[in-house]
Amino acid sequence: MSRMPAPDLRRLHAVTDNFFFWQGLRWIPMGFALMVSSIAMMPGVPLSKDVRPWIGVPFMIVALWLSTSVLGRYYARHFGRVRMDLSRHKTRTTVKWFVVYPAMLAAIIVDGVWRPPVLLSALAFAGAVEAYRESTGGGRLHYAVAAIGFVAFSLLPLLGVLPNGMAAVGAVIGLTGAVYVVGGFLDHRELVRILGSNDASDVSTV
Amino acid sequence: MSAPFEELADLDRLVHDPSRLAILTALSACKSADFLYLQRLTGLTKGNLSSHLGKLESAGLVAIEKEFIGKIPNTRVGITKIGRTAVERHWKRLDQLRQASLEWRPEPI
């Protein structure tokens, strides 16, 4: 494809190309669910070990329902519908499933089992957040800030601020939830800015 | 060689119009988008957007389909192969013009 001349056109192209990902409110419920899961994993929480891993599950089910059904309808009604061209994102999908997710999982296992002084999961999540930002249209500097936050977080066990191991992984998941919530809110604000805040009707006159 | 400003006249006016260029640029990034999305994206009124889409459809650059989602009518617009080629050629041409205008020096009088 040729380069586009104007930054505004590039932005229109990027938003349309990644419309689903820019619907920020969709990510907020999942962020809260991740934060609940994280809190449940904290050592001081009075829950039995058998229950802890499952506390977040009902929250995630509700979050998924809110995200796909309620908020999906909200975006369709107020911002319209875009059918993604999946063939444009083969590389992103491949890298996501065969590089990013396995790296995140491997880092969590390493942190949980071998307890290295630097949180590898936080570093992996930092890379994932930055890859997400880049591959879904760029811009949105809040994700770059979040990635830097994850890198800083990875050093906390080394500095003696946070114990390493699964408790630290739980904290990383909580931080991920917070990134979902704040990032989602800011993405939505950006989408409203680009698509205008005026309400339009979805009945066309063509 | 003609000045870049003279070459501007050679641009495809159908595609070069800012609203139509925005519509085609957005549609080149997806399979299809509905009328509401394009209206939000371009900030055009319904009538203006309909008029632009009508022109693009007449030229074969976009295809328009109407359907009902529940009881609500929905107009879906997708870019055609001709439309994709036209908008890509247009970006290329604008890039060339931009480059030419940077390199252009007026002839001494």
Domain presence at residue A205: no
Dist. CA B49–CA A99, nearest whole Å: 43
Q: Within B1-103, where are the H helices?
A: 4-7, 13-16, 18-27, 35-42, 46-58, 81-103
Q: What is the pLDDT of residue A84?
A: 93
Q: Which of the pair, A64 or A196, is modelled with greater confidence?
A: A64
Give mean pLDDT, residues B77-83: 96
| Residue numbers of the domain that contains A69 | 8-195
Tell me the longest C-alpha to C-alpha distance in chain A. 65
Q: Cβ of B80 under 8 Å from any chain A Cβ?
A: no
Look at A204 and B92 and tell me if their CB atoms are within 8 Å. no
Rounded to 10 deg, the angle between the A166-195 and B35-42 helix axes is: 80
Dist. CA A3–CA B87, nearest whole Å: 11
pLDDT digits 0-9 by tens, A83-135: 999 898 999 999 999 999 999 999 999 999 999 999 999 999 999 999 999 99
Residue B68 has pLDDT above 80, yes or no: yes
The minimal CB distance from B37 to the residues A4, A5, A79 is found for A79
Look at A206 and B64 and tell me if their CB atoms are within 8 Å. yes
Residue A81 has pLDDT above 80, yes or no: yes
Dist. CA A176–CA A38, nearest whole Å: 9
| Cβ-Cβ contacts under 8 Å, B78 against chain A | 83
Q: What is the pLDDT of residue B27?
A: 96
Residue B9 has pLDDT above 80, yes or no: no
Q: Cβ of B53 under 8 Å from any chain A Cβ?
A: yes
Torsions phi, psi for B31 (to 5 deg): -75, -45
Residue B85 has pLDDT above 50, yes or no: yes
Measure in Å the smallest separation between the Cα of A206 and chain B Cα atoms. Answer: 5
Q: Cβ of A2 under 8 Å from any chain B Cβ?
A: yes
Provide DSSP, A156-182. TTTTTSS--SHHHHHHHHHHHHHHHHH
Q: Cβ of B76 under 8 Å from any chain A Cβ?
A: yes
Domain ranges of chain B: 4-103
Q: What is the pLDDT of residue A49?
A: 79
Residue A50 has pLDDT above 60, yes or no: yes
Look at A4 and B91 and tell me if their CB atoms are within 8 Å. yes
Mean pLDDT over the full length of chain A = 90
Domain presence at residue A30: yes
Dist. CA B78–CA B83, nearest whole Å: 9
pLDDT digits 0-9 by tens, A173-201: 999 999 999 999 999 999 999 887 555 55
Q: What is the pLDDT of residue B3?
A: 60
Domain presence at residue A183: yes
Domain presence at residue A206: no
β-pair partners for B75:
B66
Give mean pLDDT, residues B59-81: 94
Domain presence at residue A31: yes
Give mean pLDDT, residues B1-14: 66
Q: What is the pLDDT of residue A116?
A: 93
Give mean pLDDT, residues B85-99: 88
Measure in Å the smallest separation between the Cα of B3 and chain A Cα atoms. Answer: 19
Provide DSSP, A20-55. HHH-GGGGHHHHHHHHHHHHHHSTTS---TTTGGGT
Number of domains in chain A: 1
Give mean pLDDT, residues A67-85: 95
Q: Cβ of B63 under 8 Å from any chain A Cβ?
A: no
CATH architecture, range B4-103: Orthogonal Bundle (1.10)
Dist. CA A111–CA A104, nearest whole Å: 11
The minimal CB distance from A80 to the residues B28, B33, B47 is found for B33
Domain presence at residue A2: no
Q: How confident is the model at residue A145 (pLDDT cuts 50, 70, 90)?
A: very high
Dist. CA A149–CA B34, nearest whole Å: 38
Residues A72, A194 contacting (CB under 8 angstroms): no
Domain presence at residue A1: no
Domain presence at residue A21: yes
Measure in Å the smallest separation between the Cα of B1 and chain A Cα atoms. Answer: 23
Scan residues 17-36 of A and list those with Cβ closer than 8 Å to B: 17, 19
